[in-house]
């Protein structure tokens, strides 16, 4: 139960204390005024976990989004961007779990005034707390007056719940209705911001009566909007995930272009396939470098302490390279070629063009594609054993990815429970394949670095030893995955889901 009350329609906004005094003993702990900043990540990770982060210049507070209840506090006067910027504390621990590698972005800044009241019993013991919040939201000039939110929050004291209920009843009786939301939500609404509005997850609703081309356009439009929404964050280099989400949207677009066969005219399909291959390639190097930089703690953990300093040249190299790669991405993203691709693609998606599969019902189309890709995946996977070459696992990963994207595109056409289960089990299998692929690439990357670096610094034994240990560890991990893979695959394939795509649903 959250005891929040709106004061929007109540006439005596400023007289809450004197109003309560008519029925209760009240003690004021004073009024405090501050400027408060409110944060979340671009993809609303805090909001999605019902959290919000405040900073008043001295104190960081992680609180419940829906009730403002403080979950962790940290006295720290500096502005943190990533979870790892914060000093060791329970606040940092909670942020690390939720934010992972994402940066904090300021949602708004507000002038904030709170009066803290305590409600006392006959022994003058506090039996409930009551916070009166007044928040002035400045929307940056789009309206003349800053918006004001007034809210009362009744905070129960442990062991005095009956007394809290009495206060609650009194407020309700006197025209202080319960608020639906904590003031932060009202503030965001006032600013025209919708929490949770961005998500990289494919949120497209395809219905069975849609045409295959119509559904394809719907999916592609969503993916294009994800690409576009991430561009400002890429240019501002806020965190690594803008590039990552952009790349995933490009990859899904490319997969859709090649898998949703003949829903668009052939010439156009060929052209955009080439265009998005170019767009995808643009960020390859940058993403690789980001991945190595992000896995720094993981790599260092694999090494004994005395070899850790040996990694310094590697990370200095990565940082220098990343700077160059980022500049290259900026240039490419401002190029005529790139902007034309996006514009042409957008206008293409607005057109309804003739193609062999364009007008067939999407359900029929999806059944066929999914059935076939599922069979291919199972056939390919079931012949893999410890002796198979690395390439067999790579190829299977590619087919698996195709299957996963197809499932995600068309999930809304099938029973949600079954599809979620399937996505989940496919995802866990793909994680092994993805890890295997990463290990292969990392091994090659480290080898290439060693080749170059050892020529210039033949005496850098510590660095060579560290690299050697990592490569050795990658190799062991690869073998473990390969040896266990038949077992993983058997677990995945033991219940055949292909009947889901037989057209009977």
Partner 1 sequence: MQIIALYHIKGGVGKTSAAVNLAYLSARSGAATLICDLDPQGASSFCFRIKPKFQSGTEGFIKGGDYLEMNIKGTDYEGLDLLPADLDFRNLDIAFENRKKSRKRLGKSLSSLITGYDYVILDCPPNITLLSENIFNAADIVLIPIVPTTLSIRSYEQLKAFFIKNNYDVAKISGFFSMVERRKRLHKDIVATMQGQYPEILESAIPYLADVEKMGQNRAPVCAFAANSRAARAYENLWTELIEA
Judged by beta carbon, residue 141 or residue 159, the one nearer partner 1 is 159
Among residues 40 and 163, whose Cβ is nearest to partner 1? 163
Binding residues for partner 1, how many (CB under 8 A)? 11
CB of 124 to partner 1, least distance (A): 6
Using CB under 8 A, which of the segments 124-132, 210-218, 236-244, 330-338 binds partner 1?
Answer: 124-132
Six-digit token string for 6: 């709106």
**Least separation in angstroms between CB 118 and partner 1:** 7
Answer for the pair 408, 420: CB distance below 8 angstroms, yes or no: no
Query: Of the listed pieces 116-124, 340-348, 387-395, 401-409, which binds partner 1 according to CB under 8 A?
Result: 116-124
**What distance in Å separates the CA atoms of residue 367 and residue 502, rounded to the nearest whole number?**
6
Query: Which of 118, 217, 404, 432: binder of partner 1 (CB under 8 A)?
Result: 118
CB neighbours (10 Å) of residue 330?
A: 13
Closest CA to 154 of 132, 123, 126, 172: 132
Identity of the residue, 163 or 239, whose beta carbon is nearer to partner 1 in the bound complex: 163
Rounded to whole angstroms, the Cα distance separating 449 from 446 reads: 5
268 lines the binding site for partner 1 (CB under 8 A): no
- Is 67 a residue that touches partner 1 (CB under 8 A)? no
Q: With respect to partner 1, which residue has the nearer C-beta, 156 or 400?
A: 156
Tokens coding 197:
């509005």
Residues 6+ apart with CB under 8 A from 37: 54, 55, 56, 106, 108, 109
CB 80 within 8 A of CB 94: no
Using the rule CB under 8 A, which residue among 123, 267, 298, 336 binds partner 1?
123
The number of residues making up the chain comes to: 505
> CA 168 to CA 288: how far, in whole Å?
56
Binding region for partner 1 (CB under 8 A) out of 157-165, 234-242, 300-308, 316-324? 157-165
Question: What's the closest the beta carbon of residue 303 comes to partner 1, in angstroms?
Answer: 34
228/55 Cα distance (integer angstroms): 30
Nearer to partner 1, 73 or 218 (CB): 73
Q: Give yes or no for residue 88 binding partner 1 (CB under 8 A).
A: no
CB of 93 to partner 1, least distance (A): 13
Among 66, 73, 85, 237, binds partner 1 (CB under 8 A): 73
**Contacts of the segment 496-502: beta carbons below 8 A, 24+ positions apart:** 496/378, 497/374, 497/418, 497/422, 498/371, 498/374, 498/375, 498/378, 500/370, 500/414, 500/415, 500/418, 500/419, 500/422, 501/366, 501/367, 501/368, 501/370, 501/371, 501/374, 501/414, 502/367, 502/371
Distance CA 384, CA 389 (A): 9
Q: Which is nearer to partner 1, 123 or 298 (CB)?
A: 123
What are the tokens at 102? Answer: 């994402």
Q: Count other C-beta atoms under 10 Å from residue 404's C-beta.
A: 20
* The only residue of 124, 145, 267, 391 in contact with partner 1, by rule CB under 8 A: 124
Strand order in the sheet with 70-75: 3-6, 147-156, 126-137, 105-120, 25-40, 51-55, 59-64, 70-75
Q: Which is nearer to partner 1, 109 or 166 (CB)?
A: 166
Taking the least distance from each CB to partner 1, the nearer of 90 and 420 is 90
Query: From the CB of 158, what's the least distance to partner 1, in Å?
Result: 4
Q: How far is the CB of 426 from partner 1 (least distance, A)?
A: 38
**126 interacts with partner 1 by CB under 8 A:** yes
How far apart CA 395 and CA 405 sit, in angstroms, is 16
**Minimum CB distance to partner 1 smaller for 123 or for 459:** 123
> Residue 59 or 113: which CB sits closer to partner 1?
59
The label of the residue with tokens 């809210």 reads 151
Binding mask 158-177 toward partner 1 (x if CB under 8 A, else -) reads xxx-----------------
Q: Which residues bind partner 1 (CB under 8 A)?
A: 73, 75, 118, 123-126, 157-160
């Amino acid at each position: 139960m959250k005891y929040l009350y709106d004061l929007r329609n109540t006439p005596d906004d400023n007289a809450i204390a004197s109003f309560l005094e008519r029925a209760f003993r009240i003690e004021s702990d004073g009024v405090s005024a501050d400027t408060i900043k409110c944060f979340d990540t671009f993809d609303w990770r805090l909001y999605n976990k019902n959290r919000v982060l405040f900073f008043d210049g001295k104190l960081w507070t992680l609180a419940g989004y829906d009730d403002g209840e403080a979950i962790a506090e940290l006295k720290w006067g500096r502005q943190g961007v990533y979870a790892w910027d914060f000093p060791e504390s329970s606040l940092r621990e909670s942020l690390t779990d939720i934010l992972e590698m994402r940066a904090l972005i300021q949602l708004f800044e507000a002038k904030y005034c709170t009066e803290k009241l305590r409600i006392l019993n006959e022994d003058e013991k506090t039996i409930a707390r009551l916070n009166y919040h007044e928040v002035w939201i400045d929307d940056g000039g789009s309206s003349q007056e800053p918006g004001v939110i007034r809210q009362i929050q009744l905070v129960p004291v442990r062991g005095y719940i009956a007394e809290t209920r009495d206060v609650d009843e009194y407020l309700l009786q006197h025209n202080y209705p319960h608020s639906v939301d904590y003031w932060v939500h009202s503030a965001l609404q006032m600013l025209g911001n919708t929490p949770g509005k961005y998500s990289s997850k494919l949120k497209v609703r395809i219905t069975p009566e849609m045409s295959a081309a119509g559904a394809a356009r719907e999916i592609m439009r969503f993916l294009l909007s994800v690409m576009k929404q991430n561009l400002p964050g890429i240019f501002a280099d806020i965190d690594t995930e803008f590039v990552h989400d952009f790349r995933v949207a490009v990859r899904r677009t490319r997969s859709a272009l090649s898998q949703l066969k003949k829903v668009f005219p052939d010439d156009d399909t060929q052209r955009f396939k080439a265009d998005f291959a170019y767009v995808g390639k643009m960020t390859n190097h940058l993403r690789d470098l980001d991945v190595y930089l992000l896995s720094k703690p993981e790599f260092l953990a694999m090494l004994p302490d005395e070899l850790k300093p040996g990694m310094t040249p590697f990370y200095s190299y990565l940082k220098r390279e990343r700077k160059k790669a980022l500049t290259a991405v900026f240039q490419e993203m401002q190029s005529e070629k790139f902007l034309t691709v996006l514009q042409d693609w957008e206008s293409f998606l607005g057109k309804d063009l003739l193609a062999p599969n364009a007008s067939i019902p999407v359900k029929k189309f999806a059944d066929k594609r999914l059935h076939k890709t599922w069979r291919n995946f199972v056939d390919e996977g079931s012949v893999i054993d410890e002796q198979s070459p690395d390439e067999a696992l790579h190829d299977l990963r590619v087919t698996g990815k195709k299957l996963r994207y197809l499932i995600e595109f068309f999930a809304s056409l099938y029973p949600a429970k079954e599809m979620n289960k399937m996505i989940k089990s496919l995802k866990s299998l793909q994680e092994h394949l993805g890890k295997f692929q990463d290990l292969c690439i990392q091994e090659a990357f480290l080898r290439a670095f060693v080749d170059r670096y050892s020529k210039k610094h033949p005496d850098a034994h510590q660095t060579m030893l560290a690299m050697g240990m990592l490569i050795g560890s990658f190799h062991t991990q690869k073998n473990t995955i390969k040896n266990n893979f038949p077992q993983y695959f058997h677990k995945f394939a033991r219940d055949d889901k292909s009947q889901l795509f037989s057209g009977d649903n």
